[in-house]
Amino acid sequence: MNDNGFRNGAFLGSIIGASLGMIFGTKMSPMRRRRIARTARKAKSTLKNGINALWK
């Protein structure tokens, strides 16, 4: 299996997800945005841990 393809896909997916989040984030109420920001922070740390595990 080609590990490099998986890494490129994970990177591309995170970029697409971030850009979609920015687009939809402008159309939300402040309370909902705060809740999603908290969830995004948790997801960001999980994503960083996963990417670090892939690079090792």
Q: Residue 10 above 60 pLDDT?
A: yes
Say if residues 7 and 54 touch (Cβ distance below 8 Å): yes
**CA quadruple 38, 48, 11, 5: dihedral sign:** negative
Q: What is the pLDDT of residue 1?
A: 43
pLDDT at 54: 75
Tens-place pLDDT, residues 15-45: 888 888 777 777 777 777 788 788 888 888 8
pTM: 0.40
Domain ranges for the chain: 3-55
Question: What confidence tier does 48 reach under pLDDT thresholds 50, 70, 90?
Answer: confident
